[in-house]
Chains A and B, each alone.
Chain A
Amino acid sequence: MILIGERINGMFKDIEEAILNRDRSRIEYWAKRQTDKGAHYLDINTGPAVAKEDQPAVMEWLTKVAQSVSPLPCCLDSASPDAIEAGLKVHRGKAIINSTTADEWKMDIYFPMAVRYNAYLIGLTMNEKGVPKSAAERVTLAVELTVGADLHNLPLEDLIIDPLVLPTNVAQDHGPEVIEALRQVKVLTDPPLRTVIGLSNVSQRCAERNLLNRTYMLMCMAAGLDCAIVNMDDELLVDAAAAGEILLNQNIYCDAFLKTFRKR
C-alpha cells in the first residue's frame, strides 16, 4: 500500500499562510513529519488562495522546499498544467502527476507530460459531465484513460486510476460503487492498472472521520486499491494499511510488521 501524505496542501490554513509568507519552516515541518510517519509520497497542492499566474512559482517552491528535507518523491496536485510542469522541472525522482480527467483535451496535455518527465499519472474517472455514480460508468472512463495512455505511449504501469470517492454523508450511494469500480479496474488489463483514492474525501464533514477513513481504506484495499492520499498523522490508519497488506498476503508476515511497513 502506497501512502501519499496529504498535508502539504494550501487548503490547510497553516500551509496557506506559509505559502503567502514564503515561510519554509512550516513546509519543512510537514515534509519531515510525514516522512517520519512512513509516507511514501508527499502530495503538494498550492491551494485555492494562490492566484492562477502564481501557481507555477508556488508549486516549484513547495516541491523544492519539501524535497530539501525529505528523500520522498512528490505527488504534484494541481488543476493547472503549468503548475504541474513547474513542479516536474525541479522534482527529484519519479513524480506522480495528480491528475488528468478522461476529457480528451486534458489527456492531450497530461499524457505527453507524463511521458516527457517519466512520471506516473493519476487518471480521474470523470469528464466535463462530472463524477459518474455507477461503477460501470467509472470503469468506462477508466477504459478511455487506458486508451489515452496507449495512444500517447505512456506505459500502463505508470497510469493510476482514481475512481473518485465522495463524502459518505452526502453521496453515500457512491461508496460501494467505488469499491466495485476498483474491483473491475483491476481486471481490465494485464498487468493490472494501479489505483488510488483521495481517502479523506470519504469523511468530509462527517463525525468519526478517522474511523470512516480507516474502514473505507481497508474495504478498498480488499477490492484492489494500491495507493491512497491520506492523513499520515492518523497512526491507526498507517497500522491498518500495514495490517491490510499482511492479510492480503502482499507482504510476508513477521511480528514487527507495523515497524517494517513504516521503514520501507
Chain B
Amino acid sequence: MTVTIAKEKWAGKVVEMVIGQGPNAIKVGGENTLPFLRFEGEIPNEPVVALEVWDTEPPDWPDVLASAFDGVMGDPVAWAMRCVDYGADLVCLRLAGAHPDNKDASPAEAAATARAVAGAVNIPLMVIGCGIDEKDAEVLPAAGEALAGKNALLGCATINNYKAVTTACVLHGHSVIATSPLDINLAKQLNILINEMDLPINRIAMDPLVGALGYGIEYAYSIMERTRLGALTGDKMLAMPVVCFVGQETWKSREAKTADSDEWGAQAHRAVLWEVITATSLVQAGGSVLVLRHPESMKQLKNHITAMIKEAGGK
C-alpha cells in the first residue's frame, strides 16, 4: 500500500513585490502555497530580514541590544552601514525623531535623513514614520520625495492617513505598508481604499500590527494565516506580502528588558530568543518581511529560514 501525499490545489497566490532598484532590488511574496510547503506549490522568494535604524538615539533600549550598535546610534548613516555589515536584507529607517513629543523633526529634516541613509547603503530601504498619523502624513511624503525612484517601502499608512502616504508612493514610485490593528476586516478594507487610489496591489504590503511572544502573538498568527488562506483561495485584496515589526514589539516585553535573574536566566540569551521565537513563529504564519532590532536575532532567524527552505526541498 502506497501513501498518497495530499496536495492542496490553490487557486490564488500572494503577489510578488519588488523593493529597491537595480541590482540591489529584492523580491518578496509570490507564493502559491502555505509557508515552506514546496511540495504543493511555488515559493519563489524567501522571507527577508530588516534591521531598524533610528534617526535619533533610542532612549530606552537595553544594553544587550544597544551594545550591538555601540558608537553609531547617534548617526543614522553609520548605523545603517553597520546593519549592512551585519548582513541585513533591508534597512528599516524609523523616523522616531519626528514624534511631536520627541524632537518633532520637520519633514525637511526627515527627508534629509532618508536621503543620507539611502546614499550610504546599497540595500533596499524601508522608511517608517513616528506613529502619529497626522505627523506621518507630512514626514512620509517628504521622505518619499527625497527617495524618488528608489522604490522604497513607506509606512505606515493607516485608515486615517492613507491618502497622503499613498499619494507619495504613487508620485515617487514607492510601495506602501498598510497597517491595521489586528483586524483582518479593516486590513482588507484599507487595501481596497489604497488600491482605489491607483496603487497596484503588488505595491501594497500589509502590517497586521503583530504582538510579541506572550503578548498576543496568537492573534497575529491566526490573522496572518487567514490572510494567506484568503490569498491562496483567490481573494486579491488579501494577496499582499505581510510585514512584521517584531523588534519593536519584542523589546517592549518584560522578558527582553529584565536583567539577568535566577528565575528567567541570562538576559542576553533570553532577549534574543524572545525576538527569534516571535519571528520564526510569524514566518510560519506567512510573514514575508521581518523587521528586527538585534543582529544576533537576525543571524539566528536567517539560519532558521535557510534550514526550513532546505528542509522543504531547496530552491
Interface residues of chain A, those whose CB is within 8 Å of chain B, are 251-256, 259-260, 264
Tell whether, in the assembled complex, residue B189 and residue A252 are in contact, meaning their CB atoms are under 8 Å apart.
no
B217 at the interface (CB under 8 A from A): no
B13 at the interface (CB under 8 A from A): no
In the complex, which of the residues B184, B186, B192, B226 contacts A260, with contact meaning CB atoms closer than 8 Å? Answer: B192
A251-B235, A264-B234 known; A256 and B184 CB under 8 Å?
no
Closest to A155 in B: B9
In the complex, which of the residues A251, A253, A256, A264 contacts B192, with contact meaning CB atoms closer than 8 Å? Answer: A256
Shortest distance from the beta carbon of B105 to any chain A beta carbon, whole Å? 35
The 6 closest A-B pairs by CB, nearest first: A254-B188, A254-B189, A253-B185, A255-B189, A256-B192, A252-B230
Mind listing 8 A-B residue pairs with CB under 8 Å? A252-B188, A252-B238, A254-B185, A254-B186, A254-B189, A255-B185, A255-B189, A264-B234
Shortest distance from the beta carbon of A261 to any chain B beta carbon, whole Å? 11
B37 at the interface (CB under 8 A from A): no
Q: What would 12 more interface pairs be, CB under 8 Å, given A254-B192, A255-B189?
A: A252-B184, A252-B185, A252-B188, A252-B230, A253-B188, A254-B186, A254-B188, A254-B189, A256-B192, A259-B192, A260-B188, A260-B192
Residues of A contacting B185 in the complex (Cβ-Cβ under 8 angstroms): 252-255
What is the bound-complex CA distance between A260 and B196, given in angstroms? Answer: 11
Shortest distance from the beta carbon of A158 to any chain B beta carbon, whole Å? 12
Shortest distance from the beta carbon of A257 to any chain B beta carbon, whole Å? 9
What is the bound-complex CA distance between A259 and B184, given in angstroms? Answer: 17
Residues of B contacting A260 in the complex (Cβ-Cβ under 8 angstroms): 188, 192, 237
Shortest distance from the beta carbon of A192 to any chain B beta carbon, whole Å? 14
Shortest distance from the beta carbon of B222 to any chain A beta carbon, whole Å? 12
Contact flags (1/0) for B214-234 with A, using CB distance below 8 Å?
A: 000000000000100010001
Interface hub of A252, A253, A259, A264 (most chain B Cβ within 10 A) = A252
Interface SS majority for chain B: helix
What is the bound-complex CA distance between A251 and B230, given in angstroms? Answer: 8
For chains A and B in complex, what number of residue pairs have CB atoms within 8 angstroms? 26
What is the bound-complex CA distance between A256 and B238, given in angstroms? Answer: 13
Shortest distance from the beta carbon of A72 to any chain B beta carbon, whole Å? 16
Closest to A256 in B: B192
Shortest distance from the beta carbon of B138 to any chain A beta carbon, whole Å? 27
Tell whether, in the assembled complex, residue B235 and residue A252 are in contact, meaning their CB atoms are under 8 Å apart.
yes
Closest to B191 in A: A254
Residues of A contacting B192 in the complex (Cβ-Cβ under 8 angstroms): 254, 256, 259-260
Shortest distance from the beta carbon of B134 to any chain A beta carbon, whole Å? 23
What is the bound-complex CA distance between A251 and B233, given in angstroms? Answer: 9
Residues of B contacting A256 in the complex (Cβ-Cβ under 8 angstroms): 189, 192
Closest to B192 in A: A256
Residues of B contacting A253 in the complex (Cβ-Cβ under 8 angstroms): 185, 188
Closest to A191 in B: B9
Residues of A contacting B236 in the complex (Cβ-Cβ under 8 angstroms): 264
Shortest distance from the beta carbon of A154 to any chain B beta carbon, whole Å? 16
Shortest distance from the beta carbon of A252 to any chain B beta carbon, whole Å? 5
Shortest distance from the beta carbon of B11 to any chain A beta carbon, whole Å? 11
Residues of B contacting A252 in the complex (Cβ-Cβ under 8 angstroms): 184-185, 188, 226, 230, 235, 238
What is the bound-complex CA distance between A202 and B97, given in angstroms? Answer: 66
What is the bound-complex CA distance between A215 and B184, given in angstroms? Answer: 29
What is the bound-complex CA distance between A264 and B238, given in angstroms? Answer: 13
Closest to B236 in A: A264
What is the bound-complex CA distance between A251 and B236, given in angstroms? Answer: 11
What is the bound-complex CA distance between A252 and B226, given in angstroms? Answer: 9
What is the bound-complex CA distance between A208 and B184, given in angstroms? Answer: 38
Shortest distance from the beta carbon of A165 to any chain B beta carbon, whole Å? 27
Closest to B187 in A: A254
Interface hub of B184, B186, B189, B226 (most chain A Cβ within 10 A) = B189
Residues of A contacting B188 in the complex (Cβ-Cβ under 8 angstroms): 252-254, 260
What is the bound-complex CA distance between A198 and B296, given in angstroms? Answer: 62
What is the bound-complex CA distance between A254 and B185, given in angstroms? Answer: 5
Interface hub of A251, A254, A256, A259 (most chain B Cβ within 10 A) = A254
The A-contacting residues of B in range 171-209, CB under 8 angstroms, are 184-186, 188-189, 192
Residues of B contacting A255 in the complex (Cβ-Cβ under 8 angstroms): 185, 189
The A-contacting residues of B in range 234-293, CB under 8 angstroms, are 234-238
What is the bound-complex CA distance between A215 and B234, given in angstroms? Answer: 27
Closest to B190 in A: A254
Shortest distance from the beta carbon of B286 to any chain A beta carbon, whole Å? 15
What is the bound-complex CA distance between A255 and B238, given in angstroms? Answer: 14
Residues of B contacting A254 in the complex (Cβ-Cβ under 8 angstroms): 185-186, 188-189, 192, 237
Shortest distance from the beta carbon of A34 to any chain B beta carbon, whole Å? 20
What is the bound-complex CA distance between A260 and B201, given in angstroms? Answer: 14
What is the bound-complex CA distance between A251 and B189, given in angstroms? Answer: 13
What is the bound-complex CA distance between A264 and B192, given in angstroms? Answer: 13
